[in-house]
């Protein structure tokens, strides 16, 4: 299995847990308890020493999920949650640090690449505003206030960074059941933007209260730095772990509508293996609306389906049947070109004709049957095949042994 971005290799993870001799439930309990201990006042150092050599490496998603669950279970208030999550991240930094930067997606124009590019510019602006803040603390004359006001005006561009994150990235994460980091980050994003607005107002309406200006600017600069760390060490690895390339492409395409923060990114065009029209014509490819396949690929694909497929055209002539490894009903090539009526016993021909009449007249689009035959429980489905204008062009017969499916219980996930 390949290494998942932002997480440790599955084999390593299993080995660590084997060596630690604790179950997944015990590890989860330890992580939960560490969060509760922080809430109850224990120090970061004390908790880290208790966890040393016990939990092994863990995934970013695991920590974030448990944080979200515990904040709800313990009914922790927003102002407490921000501080506790920050300390919790510090506790587990050593456990996840090695997994954070494996194979990051750094293609110019990729949404994550652009987010990080913006973060580098934001760091420069934070450095500049801190320098100007020192000048202001030494002398709050008009010139120094105007420098800070200009810095704050420029930093308001951060809203575009946050809005793309909230409106484009978060919905995809929530589709995968990831809510904890998104909910918390959105709240902190709002705090940061509101604090920048407050600083601007204080500087415009300056009444000599230097300390208030210093405090609000120190607050949002610290929070911007903190948010950059959270994005690049938690949010982005987690997102790269879950989103498909097509989902990233949609985010990239929709980003222009919101705009970018302090940068002008390149367009991103993921590498795709494209077969042009000349190749289609010369090499026997079949070009369809949703892709291009060679005739051989198409035939193998249909023959590997765990079902039997037969297609008859609008004149009731058998044109195709799949040739899977274990066909339920035998077919020979002799049926190709024959009418479907001649492929059925006389006693059942009227049933076939009635069904086809319903399909052709538009009274039905599908008909299902299920029978027990040859030790199998066979589900037989007939579908009217129509073109984009609704015109009938034939019927597809679809047969499947559903006995093994009926025996399935519980769940088996690709990633457990």
Both 178 and 41 in one domain: the answer is no
Contact present, 168 and 215 (Cβ < 8 Å)? no
Both 124 and 247 in one domain: the answer is yes
Cα–Cα dist 89/98, whole Å:
14
Question: What is the strand order of the sheet 366-373 is part of?
Answer: 318-321, 308-313, 392-401, 376-386, 366-373
Confirm whether 95 is domain-assigned: yes
Both 253 and 320 in one domain: the answer is no
User: Which residue, 55, 79, 99, sits at the end of a domain?
Assistant: 99
Contact present, 261 and 160 (Cβ < 8 Å)? yes
Both 78 and 195 in one domain: the answer is no
Could you give the dihedral angle defined by the CA atoms of residues 212, 133, 159 and 255, in that order, rounded to the nearest 10 degrees? -170
Residue 206 neighbours by CB under 8 Å, 6+ apart: 140, 145, 213
Confirm whether 280 is domain-assigned: no
Both 64 and 145 in one domain: the answer is no
Both 235 and 143 in one domain: the answer is yes
The C-alpha angle with vertex 358 and arms to 381 and 334, in degrees rounded to 5, equals 55
Task: Give the pLDDT of the chain (416 residues) as one tens digit per residue.
Answer: 333 333 333 344 334 444 444 566 777 777 778 777 877 888 878 877 777 666 665 666 566 666 666 666 666 665 566 666 667 667 766 665 444 444 446 788 999 999 999 999 999 999 999 999 999 999 999 999 999 999 999 999 999 999 999 999 999 999 988 887 788 899 999 999 999 999 999 999 999 999 999 999 999 999 999 999 999 988 998 899 889 888 999 999 999 999 999 999 988 888 766 666 666 656 678 888 888 888 888 999 999 999 999 999 999 999 999 998 888 888 888 889 999 888 777 887 888 899 999 999 999 999 999 999 888 999 999 999 999 999 999 999 999 999 999 999 988 876 54
Confirm whether 163 is domain-assigned: yes
pTM over 0.75: no
Give 382-397 as a DSSP string.
EEEEE-TT--EEEEEE
Number of domains in the chain: 3
């Amino acid at each position: 299995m390949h290494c998942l971005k932002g997480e440790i290799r599955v084999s390593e993870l299993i080995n660590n847990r084997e060596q630690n001799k604790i179950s997944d439930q015990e590890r989860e309990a330890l992580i939960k308890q560490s969060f509760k201990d922080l809430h109850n006042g224990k120090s970061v150092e004390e908790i880290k020493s208790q966890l040393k050599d016990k939990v092994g490496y863990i995934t970013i998603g695991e920590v974030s999920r448990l944080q979200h669950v515990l904040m709800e279970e313990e009914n922790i208030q927003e102002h407490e949650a921000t501080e506790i999550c920050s300390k919790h991240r510090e506790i587990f930094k050593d456990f996840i640090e090695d997994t954070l930067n494996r194979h990051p997606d750094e293609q110019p124009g990729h949404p994550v690449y652009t987010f990080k590019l913006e973060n580098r510019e934001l760091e420069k602006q934070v450095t500049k505003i801190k320098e100007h803040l020192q000048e202001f603390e030494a002398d709050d004359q008009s010139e120094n206030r105007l420098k800070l006001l200009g810095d704050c005006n420029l930093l308001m561009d951060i809203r575009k960074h946050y809005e793309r994150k909230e409106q484009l990235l978060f919905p995809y994460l929530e589709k995968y059941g990831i809510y904890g980091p998104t909910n918390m980050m959105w709240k902190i994003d709002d705090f940061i933007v509101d604090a920048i607005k407050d600083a601007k107002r204080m500087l415009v309406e300056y009444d000599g209260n230097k300390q208030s200006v210093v405090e609000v600017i120190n607050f949002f600069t610290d929070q911007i730095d903190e948010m950059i760390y959270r994005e690049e060490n938690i949010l982005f690895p987690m997102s790269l772990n879950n989103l498909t390339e097509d989902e990233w492409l949609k985010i990239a395409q929709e980003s222009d509508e919101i705009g970018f923060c302090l940068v002008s990114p390149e367009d991103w065009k993921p590498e795709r293996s494209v077969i042009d029209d000349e190749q289609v014509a010369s090499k026997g490819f079949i070009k369809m609306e949703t892709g291009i396949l060679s005739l051989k690929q198409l035939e193998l694909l249909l023959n590997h389906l765990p079902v039997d497929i037969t297609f008859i055209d609008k004149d009731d002539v058998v044109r195709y049947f799949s040739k899977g490894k274990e066909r339920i009903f035998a077919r020979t090539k002799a049926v190709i070109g024959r009418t479907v009526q001649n492929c059925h016993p006389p006693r059942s021909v009227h049933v076939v004709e009635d069904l086809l009449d319903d399909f052709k007249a538009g009274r039905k689009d599908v008909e299902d049957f299920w029978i027990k035959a040859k030790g199998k429980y066979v589900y037989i489905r007939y579908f009217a095949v129509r073109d984009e204008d609704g015109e009938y062009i034939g019927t597809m017969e679809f047969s499947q042994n559903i006995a093994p499916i009926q025996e399935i219980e519980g769940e088996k996930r690709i990633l457990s």
